[in-house]
Each structure stands twice: as C-alpha cells, then as structure tokens.
Amino acid sequence: MAGVSLKCGDCGALLRTVEEAQEHAELTSHSNFSESTEPVLNLICTACSKPCRSKTESDLHTKRTGHTEFVDKTSEAVKPISLEAPKVDATASSENPSAAASTDQNEEMVVPEVDKKLLEELESMGFSTARATRALHYSGNAGLESAVNWIVEHENDPDIDQMPLVPTNTKIEAPKPSLTPEELKAKQQELRERARKKKEEEEKRMEREREKERIRIGKELLEAKRIEADNERKRLLALRKAEKEEEKSAREKIKQKLEEDKAERRRRLGLPPEEPSAAKPSPAPVVEEKKSFVPVRPATKAEQMRECLRSLKQNHKEDDARVKRAFQTLLTYVGNVARNPDEEKFRKIRLSNQSFQDRVGSLRGGIEFLENCGFEKIDGGEFLFLPRDKIEMAVLNSAGSELDSAIKNPFFGVL
C-alpha cells in the first residue's frame, strides 16, 4: 500500500511532500524518513488559526493554549506519495491552471519569516508582536521606516493586530511608501511619543500598586506589634499581681511567727497567755480622709528596699547596664551573708573600696538598701558592718526576692 505521508524517524514529524522532507532535513539534520499510511491533517484552530498536522499536534496545542475547537480542512482525496521527487510538467500546468490553483489552496498556512532585529526595534517602540510582524512581512522587510509607514497607512485595519498567515514559500513585493520623508518622520515621532506615554502610565500604575502593598504590609506589622505589646503588658501585670500576693502571704507568715514567739516568751516568763481582746483593742472608727498627693514613705522593710531599688533605677535610668550591675552586686552581698552568716568577711564592707564605689557606693540608694538589710556604719563611716546577732533571714530573703524581681522585670521602676 502506497504511503500518504512521510514520517521522520528521528522526531516523528509528518510531512506531506518530498520537498517538505528535504527542507526538514536541512533545518534539523534528520535523515531517517519513511513512507507512512498516517494522513497529514490540516486542522485549523478557530481561536488563533494555528494549523495542526495531526491529532497529536492538535491535542498538544489544546493543552498549551486551552483552545479546543478546530476546523478540518484536510483534502478529502489525499494522493499517495513516493520518495521520488515529483517532476513538474509545465505543459500540464499551463493547460490546467485550475488544478494548480487547487493545489495552492491546499498549501499549509504558516507565519512568515521576518527580520528579527527589525522586529525587536518595532517591539521596543511599543508595537505588539503581531502588528510588527505584519508590517515587516507586507513591507517586504525593507527596513524600519517602511514598516512604520505600513503601520501608519493600515493602523485602522480590523486585522492589524492579528498574526499574518501565508502559504509556504509565498513572497510579497514591498510596496512603495506613499508618505513623504518629512511626514513619515513626524508620524514616527508621534508613534514613539505615544509608546513612551503608554509606558510611563504603566510604570506609574505599577508604582501605585507597590505603594498600596507596602502600606498594607506596614499596617499588618504595626497591628502585630501592638498585639504583642498588649500581651506582654498583661503578662507583666499578672506577674506583678502574683508577686504582691506572695509578699502578702509572706507578711502573714512573719506576723504569725512573731505572735508565736511572743506567746513562747510569755510562757517562759510564767506570764499568762495574752487575751485576744487585750492584745487587739477594738479598732477605732475609721475616718475617711481625702487622699493627698504627698508621697508616703513605705512602712515595711520590703517596701523600703523596693523603694530604694526603684529610686536607684530612676536616678540612673540613662545607664541601664550600670543599674543592672549594681542590682547583681547587691544580690551577691545579700546572698553571701545569707549562706555564710558566721563569716565576718561577708558582713563587713569597706566604703572606700574602689570596686564597691564603682558598682554600688556611687549610686544613690545603694548604701541605703544595705542599711535596710541590717548593715550599720562603723569606725567613723569607714565600714558597713552587719552584726551577727542582728541578722534576720526573713529580711535577707525578702531583699533577695526584691533584687531578683528588679533584675528580671524589664518594667521595674517604670510602672
């Protein structure tokens, strides 16, 4: 059975004629051709006029573009072909021009080849690829001026922005420009100016879009930071509340312990237990007074120590590292005494010591804090000394808690 097409064994392309096979071989260097009974179809896409030679090619076109409708323009009577190049009979052609015309009608429609450099120049001027290709093709690739001249003359054509499709090996003579050089130059300038304005408008639109996006992202970041700050504030307030409750519980325990010690001393002295009514006289009626804005000095040791630390931080708030170092030094002094109450070297501090002055002595509130812990000035104010019999572990523990809170709480002395 004679073949109706030629198939390239290297890439699988279907070719209608020997001439097409020869051209395919020159372009791709493929040489393995054989006759095939698979017909070469002529399926034209109704959306973009793309010709497809086989069902496989049309399916691939559908997958790439989404176009699904094709018109089958394949000739119903496809003649078998041979590998021999056909001989042209000039007599038959002259005698039967209608047959030649029919053959021309069945030729494949392709996009014409144009000058790539001229195409790029026209695209840089703002013309679409289809319009630039059409202008170069119908002006015969004569030059940039000829292509622009063609666009000027045909810019109102309905198919000006459609990609041209012509039969294979078709050549069109370049028409002569109908505009004078001055008119052509003015028209070129007008087209360039129009393309420049269009490009500027597009850049402005893109800049507005980018600015809107930056504003949106900035608002989201500010909102996230605000939520984070609110959560941190709530956490610190809850921590402060828990600390106050712990302090209240510690004061109650100390008060209870003092009552027990007092009762024990009365028992040892042989005194009768103190009557609750006598120990606690009936409270006098509370008279509400107007609140004054005069600061009241703290009553308890813990509050006095906290006030010393707060004053120290506020007086030196511009040097946070120095304040933190002072807190850590005070915590070291208190911790050494609490762990080694019998060691005198931990209970005696030389005020003239340079290291002590740099860390604590030169900061207002540092020495006052140590005095609230029980230290006393001796030898004419040369030393701070804590007598062994005046060490109160409850006071030292309270001092340690206040210092730990001041070190760890970033809002200490601020709220």
Domain residue extents for the chain = 3-74, 109-165, 297-406
Q: What is the pTM of this model?
A: 0.31
Which mean pLDDT values do the consecutive 10-residue runs of the chain (415 residues) have?
65 75 77 76 82 79 82 60 42 45 58 85 86 86 83 83 74 52 78 86 93 93 93 92 91 92 84 64 52 52 86 84 90 91 89 89 88 89 88 89 86 68
Residues with Cβ < 8 Å from 129, sequence gap 6 or more? Answer: 119, 123, 163
| pLDDT, position 205 | 93
| pLDDT, position 82 | 43
> What is the per-residue pLDDT across 360-405, written as a single tens digit (0 to 9) for each?
988 888 888 898 898 998 888 889 999 988 888 888 898 888 888 8
Question: Is the CATH number 3.30.70.270 carried by domain 109-165?
Answer: no
Helix (H, G, I), strand (E, B) or coil at 52: strand
Rounded to an integer, what distance in angstroms lies between the CA atom of residue 44 and that of residue 27? 24
Q: Which token pair is 300?
A: 């308890």
| pLDDT, position 251 | 92
- Region class of 110: left (phi > 0), else alpha (psi between -120 and 50), else beta: beta
Number of neighbouring beta carbons within 10 Å of residue 120: 11
**Fold entry, domain 297-406:** Methane Monooxygenase Hydroxylase; Chain G, domain 1 (1.20.58)
Rounded to an integer, what distance in angstroms lies between the CA atom of residue 42 and that of residue 16? 10
Rounded to an integer, what distance in angstroms lies between the CA atom of residue 346 and that of residue 187? 98
DSSP 303-330: HHHHHHHHHHHHHTTT-HHHHHHHHHHH
Residue 123 phi, psi dihedral angles, 5° rounding: -65, -35
> What is the per-residue pLDDT across 143-160, written as a single tens digit (0 to 9) for each?
888 888 888 888 888 888
| pLDDT, position 238 | 92
